A and B are shown apart, each in its own frame.
Chain A
Amino acid sequence: MFVDQLINGIVLGSIYALMAIGYTMVWNVLRFINFAHGEVYMGGAFVSLYLLLLDTPIWLAYLGGVCAGAFLGYLMEKVVYMRMRKAPKLNLLIAAIGISIVLQNVAQYIWGATPERLNSPFLSKNFTIADMEINQHYVFIIILTILVMIVLELFMNRTLMGKAVQAASQDINATQLMGINANKIISITFAIGSAVGALAGILVGPVFLVYPTMGVFAGLKGFTASVMGGMGNIPGAMIAGLLLGIIESFAAGFISSGYRDAVAMVILLFILLVRPQGIFGKIIQQKV
């Protein structure tokens, strides 16, 4: 029971960690919460599902979903957010909510509301380790998540582009003065964050199914994880995501499964009130 919940927690946590990255990266450059990020998660999964229906090989379908997610995030920024740079934060927030309503219902209009299962080559097989059964797809999720984190870490610290994104997160105006195209940096940030979010959706598709509203709670959890880790702190978001998944699984297993989603919300409230800079800390927006 304990080990079962631990494994479930780590799998869930990987997904939350991937989601949290998107929130935290966007916060870094624009200082706002992209509430429509959950829809990228849903969109990527749906595109993969659709590609699989067209008899695309699985790896290509997954990759296609990730690319579609990146493009969706890029589009969101170009069409809506870019035109609202000077608007109050509240307006951006409401625009994001509007976008997420549109995307959810466009998905429902095209693909219908019935949950569908995304195929995975590993789902029906289990590893048996010392009397314990672990699903292969779970292992696949964990491995892929670790891989993404390493790649992202390398990108941020070892490439010029990554360094530009880091610079932008400190002061986007100064970055622009230095001759870096701020709009390009913002676009890249959205695309990367969204690609990672879409990957999370695709990985979850075989286990918890694909349906138009799948992004709502995943978004909330990812967002909670990003607050826990300290808004803008990428490694913090990853660790916090894992932590959140594990806490949630144990709470669901040992307290009540009905309140599973409440756990994340209680943690969110607690963090906001007691330690708004997150567990791992990061400079937050100062009041002007």
Chain B
Amino acid sequence: MIQTNKTVYRKFLLILGVIALFFLPLAVTNPYVMYVINLILIYTLLALGLDLIVGYTGQVSVGHGAFFGIGAYVAAILSKNLGFSFWVNLPLSIILTALIGFIIGFIGLKLIEEYLVMATLAFGTIIWLVFLNWTDLTGGPMGIAGITPPPPIKIGTFEFVFFQYQDYYPLLLLFVFLGILVTRLIIRSGFGRACTAIRDDELAAQSMGIPVFKTKVIMFTISAAFCGAAGALYAHFLRVVSPETFTFSMSVTILTMVMIGGQGSIAGAVIGASILTVSSEALRETPELRMIIYGFLIVVMIMFFPKGIMGLFQLVKRRLQKRTIQTPETTPEKEGLSYEH
């Protein structure tokens, strides 16, 4: 009885929190802060997407910055050349990015571990060079400016406009919640469990009858689709895209967000995206120092807390519970002994 009361109470709090988040712009008057928060939301979507393939399926990609770029450039090109609105561009961006994700996944996922990392790296670099050199379509180094903001929506007497940052925020928040919902649905489904099985032991998963390659490719495609959505949202938010945003370092940034937050955890993706975005904006005045700290943070985290902040949380929680309950979420660490080969 007490238990159910507690869960009801928790659910209530959760819903309250979610609703409260939508009204955040009322409390924040500084447009720059709103801008940073919006960036966090876009990065959260990216981290969620990458986590699907890295954290839940155990396949590492350092090419997701390119998927982000494809999403952004598709939206930008459609908006600029054909005058399409955001509402048309978004689904088209997602579909096209997913399609390219599918092709890349289909070609690349036959490779394992380092070889997959190399292949995604090569792919990401090629896409970036295409953004940089296909001047007729992408504007080359100049990028594409003057992308239109999403047109307003009218529901009854309410009109939602998306011109300023605080107007754009609920839209982004909606997509982040949608992303979280989709992620939860996937990882709780049989398909999601197949993915975690592949992550934990690929051979065992295969012997259990899981179609390993097919599962990986589908997850990779979904993961790319997340980045495509983030890209379209980014293009219509910043209203300018240029190639240097989508270099290798973008892919690394997203991966770092996932690693620092903690792989295989929704909360981890949110935390990683928040920390990295806020710290990089806060250190904007000292750009060299920012990157030094940033790199240092990556090395220290990966050396001493390889499971990220969520891993740390769980460790602390388990200590507090004095090992009364074995939390089911702990995943066995994949031992990659470097001395064995």
Contact = CB atoms under 8 A, between A and B. Distances in A.
Q: In their complex, do chains A and B touch, with some C-beta pair under 8 Å?
A: yes
Interface of A: 30-33, 80, 83-95, 97-106, 108-109, 171-173, 216, 220, 223-224, 227, 256, 258-259, 261-262, 265-266, 268-269, 272-273, 276, 285-288
B297 to A, nearest CB: 8
A222 to B, nearest CB: 13
Interface string B85-97: 0000000000000
A48 B340 CA distance: 39
A106 B295 CA distance: 10
B117 interface: yes
Contact of A258 (B60, B132, B294, B341): B132
Nearest to A283: B341
B336 A88 contact: yes
Given A31-B341, A83-B303, A88-B333, A102 B126 contact: no
In the A-B complex, the 5 residue pairs with the closest CB atoms: A101-B295, A98-B298, A102-B295, A258-B133, A98-B299
Contacts, number: 143
Given A220-B125, A265-B126, A84 B295 contact: no
A53 to B, nearest CB: 20
A258 B129 contact: yes
Contact of A89 (B114, B123, B252, B297): B114
Contacts of B133: 256, 258-259
A172 B341 CA distance: 9
B118 interface: yes
Nearest to B263: A90
Given A105-B295, A262-B126, A273-B111, A94 B289 contact: no
A106 B298 CA distance: 15
Interface of B: 60, 107-108, 110-115, 117-119, 121-123, 125-126, 129-130, 132-133, 203, 248, 252, 255-256, 259, 288-289, 291-292, 294-299, 302-303, 306, 333-341
A85 B117 CA distance: 19
Contacts of A223: 118
A102 B296 contact: yes
B303 A172 contact: no
A287 B259 CA distance: 24
A262 B122 CA distance: 8
B112 A265 contact: no
Nearest to B117: A93
21 contacts: A31-B338, A32-B338, A85-B339, A87-B306, A90-B113, A91-B302, A91-B306, A97-B298, A98-B299, A102-B296, A103-B295, A106-B292, A109-B289, A266-B122, A269-B107, A269-B119, A269-B126, A272-B111, A272-B115, A272-B122, A276-B115
B295 A85 contact: no
A182 B256 CA distance: 31
Given A88-B334, A109-B292, A258-B132, 7 more contacts: A84-B302, A89-B113, A98-B256, A106-B292, A266-B126, A273-B111, A276-B115
Nearest to A182: B339
Contact of A227 (B113, B118, B256): B118
Nearest to B141: A258
A87 B336 contact: yes
A173 B339 contact: yes
Given A32-B338, A220-B125, A269-B119, A98 B288 contact: no
B259 to A, nearest CB: 6
B336 A89 contact: yes
A88 B295 contact: no
Contact of A97 (B108, B203, B252): B252
A105 B292 contact: yes
A102 B111 contact: no
B338 A30 contact: yes
Nearest to B54: A90
Contacts of B297: 98
Contact of B299 (A88, A102, A262): A102
